[in-house]
Amino acid sequence: MRPQIKIILANFFFEYETPRQVLVRNKKVAVACRIIQMGVLAYIIGWVFMYEKGYHAIDTAIGSVFTKMKGLSFTNISGKVRIWDAADFVFPEQGASSFVVMTNFIATVGQKQDKCPELQDGKNTCKTDADCDEGKYKRTGNGHMTGRCISNTSTCEIYSWCPVEDDRQIPDPPILLTSENYTLFIKNSITFRQFNVVRSNLVESVNQSYINTCLYHPKTDPLCPIFRLGDIIKFSGFDFSEIARVGGAIGLLIDWDCNLDLNIKYCIPKYEFYGLYGTGKNDKQEKPSLGYNFRYAKYYVENEVEKRTLMKVFGVRIDIIVNGRAGKFDIIPTLTAIGSGVGIFGVATVVCDLLLLYFVPKRDFYKNMKFKHTENPEEKPSLPQSESEKDLPTE
């Protein structure tokens, strides 16, 4: 091996290089540097470690929700007395995490497939049979037109479920006004797979005797899994009488934010309520299609003729959403957070260098102290004349 190569390898393996540092005695720049460093330190300790818990490994939960609605309502419509229970006013069947509680309705009883006049609502008027195209269907209509204009109603005759539904007048007050006192039971289970932790909203302090008597309240009973429908609507920011009349939607969030460095009993749910859409009562401009409603029918046979009762249901749609997040100490995210924090400390050096090199009065002096200038090796400096050459006579 050539001697030059040996020297290069020896220098590479057995010599250590360190950056050159210049100690600058400038009070203003020093104070600025310390302020920036203290700000970075406060950010690392306060935000990264204490608030964001940068020393935690994080896992999100897999959750399931089971619900059960209870309550009774009594109605007397046109002398017909009826009791309504959960099997009548909850859609779909019990147990879903998204469901509708009926609070008001418009019933069209005894419909059968026949010919009848269109609804007199000003949308489907006619003067002659020519205004009613046979076999055609208008988007605002309720059936297929027969081609005949009925003079006494000035509407087209249609083939449809007759008599047609008249939903122009929504019952006010709501028919099922006592729905305010319905109760909702929520059973929620979550799993943090990374930490092998399974939790339920029926935590250690929630036993059967407590469930039999409690009712959720954010201050007095924040862990009670039984909610009054009127309270859910109030906590979401809606007015019960108005939303019960035309319907609306509410989001119920079950939020789990667990620090698994502590005892597992401190991993508890927090319930939050959000009004998704409702009556628009507080809107400055009137909006179309306010509230929430849908239709369903109950079919039966009478005198060998198929009939139905059409129900236009107004209700409160409740969507239950589970958000689970758990953290536990882990050395890898801890070292990552520390490393990123140390890297941010370099901001102070960059800022102070900019101040020294471009803004302070003695910037040229500091540039000479910080940087070492060398000549271009390709440019050969001119040699001075020797003493003998100086003594040579000139012509």
The label of the residue with tokens 């590479």 reads 12
DSSP designation for 169: S
Instruction: Name the binding residues for ATP.
Output: 68-70, 183, 293-295, 312
User: Does residue 156 contact residue 124 with C-beta atoms inside 8 Å?
Assistant: yes
Measured CA angle at 187 (ends 186, 188), to 5 deg: 115
**Following CA atoms 88, 161, 166, 122 in sequence, which dihedral angle do they give, to the nearest 10 degrees?**
150
Residue among 168, 297, 316 nearest 246 (CA)? 316
CA dist 307 and 305 (Å) reads 6
> Cα dist. 325→56, 190, 191, 245 in Å?
11, 10, 10, 38
Residues 6+ apart with CB under 8 A from 148: 129, 132, 156, 157
Residue-wise over 235-253: b if at least 16 C-beta within 10 A, else e?
bbebebbbbbbbbbbbbbe
> Cα dist. 82→77, 106, 299, 371 in Å?
8, 15, 18, 94
CA dist 226 and 187 (Å) reads 9
Instruction: Name the binding residues.
Output: 68-70, 183, 293-295, 312
How would you classify the pairing of strands 305-329 and 248-259? parallel
CA dist 23 and 51 (Å) reads 36
SS3 category, 164: coil
Measured CA angle at 125 (ends 133, 311), to 5 deg: 95
Residue among 280, 73, 247, 80 nearest 171 (CA)? 247
Sign of CA dihedral 389, 391, 392, 395: positive
CA dist 240 and 238 (Å) reads 6
